[in-house]
Amino acid sequence: MSKLIYTKPEALRPVKTHYCPGCGHGIVHKLIAQIIDELGIREDTLLVAPVGCAVLAYNYIDVDGLESAHGRAPAISTGLKRVHKDKIVICYQGDGDLLAIGAAETIHAANRGEDITVIFINNAIYGMTGGQMAPTSLEGQVTKTTPKGRDASEVGYPIRACEMLNTLVAPVYIERCAVYDVPHINKTKAAIRKALRYQKEGKGYSFVEILSMCPTNWGVDPVKGAEWVKEAMESYYPLAVFRDIPAGKVPELAAPEGTSAYERREEAR
Amino acid sequence: MNDKILMKGNEAIGEAAILAGCRHYFAYPITPQNEIPAYMALRLPEVEGTFLQAESEVAAINMVFGASAAGARVMTSSSSPGIALKQEGFSYLAGAELPAVVVNMMRGGPGLGNISGSQGDYHQATRGGGNGDYKTIVLAPGTVQELADLTIKAFELADKYRMVAMILGDGYLGQMSEPLTLPKAVQNIPSKADWALTGPKGRAGRSIASLRLAPDDALYQHNMHLAEKYAQVEAAETMAESYLCDDADIVLCAYGTSARICRKAIKKLRSEGIKVGLFRPISLWPFPKKELAKVASGAKKLLTVEMSLGQMLDDIRLHSGKIPSEVDFYGTPGGALPKIETIIEKVRSYV
């Protein structure tokens, strides 16, 4: 007797994507679709797609999709969620989008504790425009706009999004993952599942950063791309659960006067 | 029964928006329109609505974008420099065909300028500073009553055509208090179920976007579709007031606060026996071209009066059918009001 153990998730459309070989977006799209299926939330999910390589994400994930101007996805997600309080809003963003042009929107949506899930793809480069420096490009990293390598004395240091957001009171869940090999893909899936489950339960703002590959713009093959995430990126961007307030992992900063934002939210219910 | 109440212009906009069914409002503080967010912060929670002070004008217009896509009647307000920032959003709303109401209580410019009332954003509003071929419906109230009535109208037009409708007032109008009769609460808000993002219950996912890459002519065709829609708006939605124009040899052309000042001048000039009238566009886009041409055909001279260096003047010149020497201009930039005496002197000089 045969048993079906693997199939395409229902929430993933049966279409070809435009992503390059070795790119991490396809992996993360599939994880999101699988979790949407598992949580049974397809009919209640709204996806905000960013300017960047994932701008067409709504063509691949079969939910209601809204395209954002560059950097504005958290503000647009705020508008969506404030109207549809009972729906799931996924705010999908890249590094230039989330940390450069949209830094203000990122910080303030997190600070308000918008009940949304931000999925942050950090591949340390601008993909869509052909490989320019991102806020997360590593020191010394050669890009189209840092031909001699990123010089921190000129253009500043790579920004650590999770650590920065972890200084805020309101977010309930912040984790950094990676998708360079299967064990880490599985961990990423668990993180996305937790983030979306928290949103389904109305727990508040969650942020999942995913270290991902852009072999095309890094000028390497897909295997080398995965290795570079592990060897070069992970040491600067440590993989960790920065906070998980519903599970009791509460950073000091998030609990002024001994009460976390999450606890206050729970008390208010 | 006298059902009139006294209200400040900016607050009248807020109450009218609520009467129009607006339950979501996002904005960033800027003078001289701060009474609108203050009013909404108090009133919206009373009607189970959402007031949110955004981190910037750019964020505010994008919250509007999200709420509009979700199917809500939504508004933002600002003043000139803030509107400049929101124009990114206007272009995206136009591209995605999303309705929204925007209020601009104009102040003196350019740059930070000052906080006095001005009409320096006529070009910005009617030509648009956002990218691409798009149009914004622009309504120019002249009284507190009209601020309320046209706010209701703006929501109706925004939904009807799925585009941005702007209330273009100025600091003077927003700050002044006048008696008004509040409009009736709007009962029949059109359903948006066939396009809004509500979660794909029992259907495939749908998307709202302004990016159009495939097929090759997708964006061309979309622009042609928008052009057709804009032509419908131009054919059906012009609004203008003609005051004492039937026998007028001289017609003053002005909108909003400038038109109020022109009215005072006309009263004095008429008492001197000078046949002068007022043409007041209420819709600045679509511009009331036919209405202007009709009024202008019987007049010998037009005088455009604006609180700017001459912006609506372009439309008066384009659509009045008059030769340049027949269209005069008097403008006061930088937040200054036109002087009644100057208007009177100019008109006398034509006789």
Count of A-B CB contacts under 8 Å: 130
Q: Which two tokens stand for residue A225?
A: 């791309």
pLDDT of residue A12: 97
Residues from chain A that touch B63, judged by Cβ atoms under 8 A, are 75-76, 78-79, 82
Q: How high is the mean pLDDT in each 10-residue block of chain B (351 residues)?
A: 88 98 98 98 98 98 98 98 98 98 98 97 95 98 98 98 98 98 96 97 96 96 98 98 98 98 98 98 98 97 98 98 97 97 98 93
CB-based contact B63 A75, cutoff 8 Å: yes
The amino acid occupying position B19 is L
> Is the Cβ–Cβ distance between B197 and A44 less than 8 Å?
no
Cis peptide upstream of residue B110 (ω within 30 degrees of 0): yes
0.95 surpassed by pTM: yes
* Number of other residues whose CB lies within 10 A of the CB of residue B71: 20
Which of A89, A207, A237, A38 minimizes the C-alpha distance to A30?
A: A38
With 60 as the cut, is the pLDDT of residue A231 above it? yes
Instruction: Give CA–CA dist B280/B254, Å, rounded.
Output: 5
State the average pLDDT over residues A49-66.
Answer: 96
State the average pLDDT over residues A58-62.
Answer: 96
Q: Which helix (H) or strand (E) holds B101?
A: strand B100-106
Answer whether A263 touches B (CB < 8 Å). Answer: no
Residues from chain A that touch B211, judged by Cβ atoms under 8 A, are 55-56, 67
With 80 as the cut, is the pLDDT of residue A269 above it? no
A49-61 b/e with 16+ CB inside 10 Å = b? bbbbbbbbbbbbb
CA B256 to each of CA B110, B262, B265, B336: distance values in angstroms, whole numbers, following the listed order: 20, 10, 15, 14
pLDDT of residue A252: 75
> Is the Cβ–Cβ distance between A70 and A101 less than 8 Å?
yes
pLDDT of residue A183: 98
Q: Name the percent of chain A lying above pLDDT 70.
A: 94
pLDDT of residue A251: 83
Residue B65 C-alpha, separation from nearest chain A C-alpha, in angstroms? 6
B98, exposed or middle or buried, with CB in 10 Å at 0-12, 13-18, 19+?
buried
pLDDT per residue as tens digits for the range A164-209: 999 998 999 999 999 999 999 999 999 999 999 999 999 999 999 9
pLDDT of residue A267: 74
* Number of other residues whose CB lies within 10 A of the CB of residue A264: 14
CB-based contact A64 B205, cutoff 8 Å: yes
The number of CA neighbours under 13 Å toward the Cβ of A121 is: 32
**Parallel, antiparallel or unpaired: strands B164-170 and A240-244:** unpaired
CB-based contact B66 A75, cutoff 8 Å: yes
Query: Positive or negative CA dihedral for B183, B189, B195, B196?
Result: positive
Residues from chain A that touch B208, judged by Cβ atoms under 8 A, are 65-67
CB-based contact A69 B24, cutoff 8 Å: no
Q: Which two tokens stand for residue A118?
A: 């931000």
**Parallel, antiparallel or unpaired: strands A45-49 and A64-67:** parallel
Answer whether A68 touches B (CB < 8 Å). Answer: yes
pLDDT of residue A257: 58
pLDDT per residue as tens digits for the range B121-163: 999 999 988 999 999 999 999 999 999 999 999 999 999 999 9
Disruptive mutation site among B50, B62, B93 for chain A (greatest number of A CBs within 10 Å): B62
Answer whether B68 touches A (CB < 8 Å). Answer: yes
CB-based contact A67 B96, cutoff 8 Å: yes
pLDDT of residue A254: 59
Nearest CA in chain B to A60: B205
